[in-house]
Structure 1
C-alpha cells in the first residue's frame, strides 16, 4: 500500500461530509463494465440515504492526501431495501444475522495495492463487532456475449472465493439502474455471495 494512502471510517450520519465524494467515485467506477452505470447525483443521494440513517452502517474511505480514491460500504441487511432482503427471506435465512457488504470501489491507479482486501477485512471486523454471523454481497450478472464486455475481461469470482465468499444457488434478485448505453432504467439480475464469519473472542 502506498505510504500516502490513509484509511478513514465513517458510520451513520458521520458519512455526510463524504457523501458527494463517495457519489462521484461510485459514478466514475461503476460506469465501467460490468455495471455500465450511467449515474446521477439524484440517484446517488437516494441510494446512499439508508447509510446516513443507520447508526450501524460503515463506509471505509481510502484517501490519497485529500482525495477519495476508494470506498467500501456496508450495513445490516435488515436495513436494506426489499429487493435485497426478499431473496434471503424466501430461503428461510434470517436477515437479522447477516451484514450486507454493499460495494467496494477503487480508482484504477490504486488497484492491486491491497486496498480491496483491506475493505473486506474492515467490513467483516465491523460486522463481527455488531454480532453478525454472516456477510453477503451481490454482483450483477451479464451475458457472456454482452456487446460492451471488454476484451480480456476477468470477473472477480476467484478473488471473492479466496476471501471466502461463494454464490448461493437460487439466492438472487433484480435491481434497477440506467446503463450508459440505454435511454432509461432497466432491471438487472444480481447474484448473492455469502460467507460465514468466524466468531471473534
Structure 2
C-alpha cells in the first residue's frame, strides 16, 4: 500500500466531493449507521465544507484512490440540529470546532489512520484558535436486530483520544435505514474535549 495522508480546506475540498460522497455512502451502510444514502444528498451535504474557509478535510489515498476521509468545521457553520443541544445547554456554538465523519474502507482500518484523523483535525482546530472540539455518534438500541454479534463500539478509542461522552447533549438527525421504508429520527450523542 502506498498510503498518503493530506489535509485540505475550503475551496480545496471541491475535487474530492464526488469520491467522498461515494465513500460516505459505502461506509455508512455498515452498523451502526445503516444509512441508505444518495449521491445527490451527499454532494449537497458536503458543499458546506467547500463553502467554509475554516473547514478541514483529511484524506487518505492509496495511490490516487481515496480510501478514507475525515471532516471538520466550526460548529457555528454546521447544521442547526448539531448546534441546538449546545444552545440548550448554554454552550456557545462559536467556541467549538465540530468533527464530522471519519470514513475508512475496511481494508485500511487498524493501521493508525483513525488516530491520524483526530490529530490532524485537532491541530487544525488549534491553528484556527479553537480550544474545544466536539463530535457526535449515533446511539442504537443494544438489542437492535441488525447489530452484528461481533460489533465493538468505538467508545474506548475515543476515550483514549481524550474525549468524554456527554449523554445530555443529543442531536436528532433523520435518514432512511437500509431496512426501513422511510426516514426516521436518530439520536446522536456528543463527545467533547478541551484542546
The normalised TM-score by structure 2 is: 0.98
The root-mean-square deviation of aligned C-alpha atoms, in Å, is 0.8
What CA deviation, in whole Å up to 9, does each residue of 1:88-121 have, x standing for no partner?
A: 0111111111000001111011001110000000
- What does residue 25 of structure 2 align with? 27
Structure 1, unmatched stretches of 5+, are none
Structure 1 counterpart of 2:156: 158
| Moved beyond 3 Å, runs of 4+ | none
Distance 1:72 1:194 in 2: 17
1:74 to 72, 75, 78: 72
Secondary structure, aligned partner of 2:177: coil
- 2:166 is matched with which residue? 168
- Match 1:133 to one of 131, 134, 153: 131
Among 80, 83, 92, the residue aligned to 2:81: 83
Whether the aligned pair in 1 keeps the contact of 2:7 and 2:120 (CA below 8 Å) is: no
Size of the aligned set, in residue pairs, is 195
Q: Distance in 2 between matches of 1:8 and 1:113?
A: 16
Mapping of residues 3-152 of structure 1, within 5 Å: 4-152=2-150
Q: Tell me whether 1:187 sits opposite 2:185 in the alignment.
A: yes
Question: 1:169 deviation in Å?
Answer: 3.2
**For 1:134-176, what per-residue CA distance to the aligned partner results, in whole angstroms no more than 9, with x for missing partners?**
0000000000110110011110001000001111131111001
Gaps of 5+ in 2: none
CA distance in 2 between partners of 1:10 and 1:185 (Å) = 32
CA distance in 2, matches of 1:23, 1:9: 17
Q: Report the secondary structure of 1:18's partner residue.
A: helix
Equivalent-residue separation in structure 1 for 2:176 and 2:44 (angstroms): 14
CA contact (8 A) 2:86 2:92 kept: yes
What SS is found at the alignment partner of 1:195?
strand
Question: Counterpart of 1:21 in 2: which secondary structure?
Answer: helix
Cα deviation, 1:31-54, whole Å, max 9, x if unaligned, reads: 000000001011101211211110
Q: Determine whether 1:177 maps to 2:172.
A: no
